[in-house]
Chains A and B, each alone.
Chain A
Amino acid sequence: MLIAATLAIFVAMILAIIRGIAGPTLYDRILAVNMFGTKTVLLISLLGFVMGRPEFLDIALVYALINFISVIGVLRYSDTNQFKHMPTEDKSIRKEP
């Protein structure tokens, strides 16, 4: 059963990578990275149980943490010109940041 779950997670990771490479807009790619991160967390925990070494769970926790911080970092710096001027409400289509 564990092996089946690991294979499923692998398939999900490959799908995420396809979207990551193909994704037209930047935010599709951030979404792919986010999904890829959560899938790696699951993969590591499952590997921990498949290989019978439960120490792996610390690494799974760090993965989730790092994934969270890098996605926040990407979003924080992707809308770069947010600080140029006060963000008005009716934000029309943004030109190249």
Chain B
Amino acid sequence: MDIIITICSGFLLLVGSFLCISGGIGLLRFPDFYTRMHAVGVTDTLGAGMILVGLMMLSTDFLVFAKLVMVLLFTLLIGPTTSHVLAKAAFHNGVRPKDSNNLEQSKEKENTSSIL
């Protein structure tokens, strides 16, 4: 029985960490703020959820399991909220998505809009 559990948790941990790394790479390589937002937002919540469920499988007594459930619920709640607030504030302050069709027009807009 526990062999299956270890395999499952190992698999979940593997996928979760792969997602986290892909989120990190997405953060670096994507051209514009909103695409990076997207990359991080998605992989964060899913990757964290995966790893935490993987850990839940490994946990022995109930208290640890309960704490892990709380951490999972908390991350699932605040992850999307922070992304939402971040996007709203960014849009509010004039960071415009870089639309691909007129690249050069957006080039000069890009450097004026990026505040710093």
Which A residues lie at the B interface, using CB under 8 A? 1-2, 4-5, 7-9, 11-12, 14-16, 18-19, 24-28, 30-32, 34-35, 38-39, 41-42, 45-46, 49, 54, 57-58, 60-61, 64-65, 67-68, 71-72, 75, 78-79, 82, 87, 91-94, 96-97
Contact = CB atoms under 8 A, between A and B. Distances in A.
A60 B93 CA distance: 32
Contacts of B20: 8-9, 12, 39, 42
Given A30-B86, A57-B64, A79-B89, A64 B40 contact: no
Interface of B: 6, 9-10, 13-14, 16-18, 20-21, 23-25, 27-28, 33, 36-37, 40, 44, 47-48, 51-52, 54-55, 58-59, 63-64, 67-68, 70-71, 74-75, 78-79, 81-83, 85-86, 89-90, 92-96, 112-116
A92 B58 CA distance: 52
B17 A9 contact: yes
Nearest to B79: A38
Nearest to A29: B116
A96 B93 CA distance: 10
B92 A91 contact: yes
B92 A1 contact: no
A28 B36 contact: yes
B93 A34 contact: no
A12 B92 contact: no
A57 to B, nearest CB: 4
A58 B100 CA distance: 45
Contact of A46 (B25, B28, B51): B51
A60 B90 CA distance: 28
A54 B67 contact: yes
A33 to B, nearest CB: 10
A58 to B, nearest CB: 7
Nearest to B85: A75
29 contacts: A1-B9, A5-B13, A5-B54, A12-B21, A14-B24, A16-B24, A25-B90, A25-B95, A26-B115, A31-B33, A31-B36, A31-B40, A41-B48, A41-B71, A42-B48, A42-B51, A57-B67, A58-B67, A60-B71, A61-B67, A61-B71, A61-B74, A67-B78, A68-B78, A71-B86, A75-B89, A79-B89, A91-B92, A96-B115
